[in-house]
Structure 1
Amino acid sequence: MSTSGLTIGAITFLVALGGVWLRLRDVQWFAHLKRPDWLSFEPAIPFIWTFIFACGAWSATQVWESDPGSFVTWLLMGLYLLLEIFTVAYIPVMLRQRSLAVGTILGAIGVVLGVVLTLSVWPLSGWAALLLLPYVLWSPIGTYTTWEMIRLNPQAV
């Protein structure tokens, strides 16, 4: 693996670690919320997100290696980082605030950032844009699920 790939992978991993700072009482609050009947795949969600983050890191590596160090590439790296921060913040911020509405807003921001990033990357590397498709396809599902949970848990808005 290239040095840039290792660096981007390490940054992705370190930012993702920010999501593990959860308080037990916040996790318990979320665990007691009602979920949609169709949410049968919940145990797979951590694995799905791990795959999505790996694809994102690989995508960022493709972009970096297509034009290393240029101003545009640095801007795109900043957008990758911003997208990951919003994505990782979703769980701890929603749980800390005990608000599904906050989670829905963070998720929606992530959806928009994901689409903007994908469209911005496309002219530089079709492969990098393709690697962002798992995020673009999955993120709206998570956002919709959180929004649907508001209907089932009106006390958790």
Structure 2
Amino acid sequence: MIQSWMVIGAVTFAIAVGTFFITPRDVKWFAQLTRPRWLVFEPLIPLIWTVVFVCGAASANIVWQKNPGSLITWLLMGSFVLLEIITISYIPAMLRWRSLRIGEILGSVGVILGVLLTLSVLPISKLAALLLLPYLAWSPVGTYTTEELIQLNPKDA
């Protein structure tokens, strides 16, 4: 029998594969942007997001286990998927249109949706809500970094 964590993990992974639609031309544009001096942790960002997504998938699995198949649970699963799609689309959308502003908007929407999802999950499971805290801590950092990039590269906003 297929376990819920397997399905949730597979969906999380499948959505994350969406970042492979970035072309080298787009990455070159981003690599040439001026970065804030304090952005020394940039090489760790993929690892940080991996941890954030694993925690999000674990949170979704806990929510599913509490009341599998109910309408509320399905709506919450949809919210988890929407949050990941918004988060994953940040880089491809920003790079495809060469617009830091698009990244900032998607990041801000992700922060808001992350807060709403955490508040919705809290009554179901405190642990599931706790597992969303890495997203709530890291997503604003990414959005703030994008704002700093806009300040340093106004022609690329």
Aligned-residue offset at 1:13: 0.2
Q: Which residue of 2 aligns with 1:114?
A: 114
Q: Which residue of 1 aligns with 2:35?
A: 35
Aligned-residue offset at 1:134: 0.0
- Matched to 1:102, the amino acid is I
Alpha-carbon deviations, 1:4-52, whole Å to 9, x = none? 0010000000000001111111000000000111000000000000000
Instruction: Give me the TM-score of the superposition, normalised by structure 1.
Output: 0.98
Aligned length: 156
Look up the SS of the partner of 1:33 in the other structure.
coil
Instruction: Give me the TM-score of the superposition, normalised by structure 2.
Output: 0.98
Q: Which residue of 1 aligns with 2:48?
A: 48
1:156 and 2:156 are equivalent in the alignment? yes
- Matched to 1:132, the amino acid is L
Q: Which residue of 1 aligns with 2:61?
A: 61
Of all paired residues, the percent bearing the same amino acid is: 61
The runs of 4+ residues in structure 1 deviating greater than 3 Å are: none
Q: Which residue of 2 aligns with 1:12?
A: 12
- Matched to 2:3, the amino acid is T
Alpha-carbon deviations, 1:102-152, whole Å to 9, x = none? 000000000001000000000000000000000001000000000110010
Q: Which residue of 1 aligns with 2:99?
A: 99
- List alignment gaps of at least 5 residues for structure 1: none
- List alignment gaps of at least 5 residues for structure 2: none
- Matched to 2:87, the amino acid is T
